[in-house]
Homo-oligomer: A and B are copies of this chain.
Amino acid sequence: MTKYSVGIDFGTLSGRALLADVSNGCEIACVTYEYPHGVMSDSCGGKKLPMDWALQDPRDYLEVIVKTVPALLEKTKVNPKDIIGIGIDFTACTPLPVYSDGTPLCFTEKWKDEPHAYVKLWKHHASQPQADRLNETAEKTGQEWLSTYGGKISSEWMIPKLMQILDECPELYSDMDYFVESGDWVVWQLTGNLFRNTCAAGYKSIWSSKDGYPSKEFFRALDARLEDATETKLSGKLAPVGTCAGGLAEKMAALTGLAEGTPVAVMNVDAHVSVPAFGITEPGHMLAIVGTSTCHMLVDREYRPVNGVCGIVEDGILPGMYGYEAGQSCVGDHFAWFVENCLPGEYRDEAKSRGISPHVLLTEKAELLKPGQSGLVALDWWNGNRSILVDTRLSGLMIGMTLATKPEEMYRALIEATAYGTREIIENYRKSGVGVSAFTASGGIPNKNPMLCQIYSDVLNMPIRVVSSTQGPALGAAIFGAVAAGKAAGGYDDIYSAGEKMGATEGKTYYPNPENARIYDKLFAEYEKLHDCFGRTDDMMKRLRAIAQENR
């Protein structure tokens, strides 16, 4: 008898439910549902929002569940009894204020017009002043955990977002019982139980299994009213990923058509859940999810401090391992910027008349170039640098242009720059004693652009495995669902065996061309010089940014 697991992936604009065969991870069906409210960045509850806000309505998450799961059952005619587990992955940090019974404050008459009552999406950046205060205080008071996060806490994370509510709407702060990740809230809605998963808590809420949250003294130093935050607004049981949060509640079973009591795993973060989804369970195997930006995940048995990472969290990716996360803040965004701002009319016309995307056209032309022949090198910092410099004030640079430089040469230079940025991250790990021995890339860009994959392979001088499945997060959630179910129910006892059986590994491997690798070694040496000069020695980019801000 075939057993199945459901993974529900909550993205930025939509959610999707995937039904997977527990024995081999094969996707049986997938149903997507767009959030009716999408991302609210202009207005919310009839109020205009200031710059840098990004909210969501938690009703949309419930809608995803009741629209996609029944459709999945309808489509596949699978017997709900054969569905042995449910997993959830979510964007993070995407928290919302709720009452002790789980009711979001924005569902109440009292708060429905208050933007702070809604979900603060991961890319809500309006908590930057709070993040700045937090970082300043942490540095001044010598917080040890700071080094675990590359020396800086992002405005996207839990505590700055909580601080912003306290600063701007203290009544709402007082009124809420919990401030929770939306993914944890969804699992709570499904099971009736509140668990904070250690992946999100570790990467986004400055929690660690060894030291818990930052101390009361630290919170007091931020604001006296925050002193007891971890015992109140941030309280709740913590559970490692793969833990079963409970069985599906009666009401949700009725709404979805799934069987009451079906085990539900605690939430995972979308990027991190992709590691076992792509069959990666061994230390030193990096997964790069290449999209508008790139997220690099890696596990290791040891904890080793590494400069400039996004976070190092015990059990954060796979239980029993330290999960290392790093990132590049601008990858696909570079290529999109180029097409939007630098694509000559004749290129645009050619792409249009041939019915291909400008990216395909530029890649066609760039593919004819040999490494190094353009004489160009760029820094991939149009959107700052996440790892390993952790500085959003850095900006772009390109060197080597001549009157003969063509658009495809600059386009290729930008692709190469992102490859050098990845190599910089890997070499930084290696210098810190964290091995990187294998590399898997996933996402739309590597699947669509073989030239990019070959460049990455040549620049890193490593084979690049590209997995063709683009359902990494949803499949990962389904895998954790199968782990929550356990072996006795037809699932798995641990994520290692589950990932091995259910992980999607189909795809293509690119091998380095030794001649190209030799040329790229030379070019990378130049990239590194620029990287260290403008990222470390000379503050020119920051001075230019300051001049720009003064004169806007």
Contact = CB atoms under 8 A, between A and B. Distances in A.
A395 B406 contact: no
A487 B394 CA distance: 66
A547 interface: yes
Contact of A374 (B349, B373, B548): B548
Copies in the complex: 2
A370 B552 contact: yes
Contact of A344 (B341, B403, B551): B341
Contacts of A401: 382, 395-398
Interface stretch (A38-46, A320-328, A536-544): A536-544
A407 B547 CA distance: 19
A542 to B, nearest CB: 10
Nearest to A342: B342
Interface stretch (A24-32, A77-85, A282-290, A519-527): A519-527
Contacts of A340: 344
Nearest to A526: B540
Given A342-B344, A375-B545, A407-B342, A396 B399 contact: yes
A396 B403 CA distance: 9
Contacts of A333: 403
A292 to B, nearest CB: 10
A546 B45 CA distance: 60
Nearest to A340: B344
Nearest to A379: B399
Nearest to A395: B400
A142 interface: no
A334 to B, nearest CB: 8
A423 interface: no
A108 interface: no
A402 interface: yes
B551 A372 contact: yes
Given A397-B399, A399-B540, A403-B333, A550 B372 contact: yes
Nearest to A292: B403
A348 interface: yes
Contact of A371 (B341, B529, B551): B551
A216 to B, nearest CB: 39
B544 A403 contact: no
B341 A343 contact: no
A534 interface: yes
28 contacts: A330-B403, A341-B344, A341-B407, A343-B344, A343-B345, A344-B344, A344-B345, A345-B348, A370-B552, A372-B547, A372-B550, A373-B551, A373-B552, A375-B544, A375-B545, A377-B544, A382-B403, A397-B397, A397-B398, A398-B398, A400-B541, A400-B548, A519-B547, A522-B543, A522-B547, A526-B540, A529-B538, A533-B533
Given A340-B344, A382-B401, 20 more contacts: A337-B403, A341-B405, A341-B407, A342-B344, A372-B548, A373-B548, A373-B551, A373-B552, A383-B403, A395-B399, A396-B398, A396-B402, A397-B398, A397-B399, A399-B541, A400-B541, A400-B545, A519-B551, A523-B547, A526-B540
